[in-house]
Structure 1
């Protein structure tokens, strides 16, 4: 059976996701404790990446953004050493609003379901 082609960028994207998540979890910064890396988008030329994250406690969102801004260079250099690519990847950290919206939609669907059950 012939294996499907797998782009190098896809392999590196998955590796980048894992390594960023590991770096964040190993940071001593208390703001890093409530962060989950949800997705990584990597450009085809492997030079730019958007790293999407969520936070457990949204009241700390601004502090988390500040943490990423101040640690971006550190994370970038660690990733460059770990992946051994020709160019260090430019990282952009983006708050992932999808999870929050999905939770809201599920809440509304449950509410509608409950209202239908009450009216029966």
Structure 2
């Protein structure tokens, strides 16, 4: 038997059942996993960091900041928006992006970001 398994079946039913029933619903966990997965790509993580510090940026600025093409950055922004981490708004011919509250909180929790000048 592997080191990662109990050699004896000894379920503490009351404790285990209490924890099992306290878990969030499967669809909520799926959404959380999608959000975490969205930050799992290095380019998307760089974009999220840039938006965390830069507040609101257009695709042109983000492409320059992260060193990728506008097309690639747009693709990653769509994924971040789909995951519910980024909001966008049109400003004339520009589309401006910003991390929403969920995006800021998840980025902070996932990687412990601290913006210069903010208390740690």
TM superposition score category, shorter chain reference? 0.3 to 0.5
Larger-Rg structure: 2
Q: Greater strand percent: which structure?
A: 1
User: Given the two structures, how large is their TM-score scaled by the length of structure 1?
Assistant: 0.34
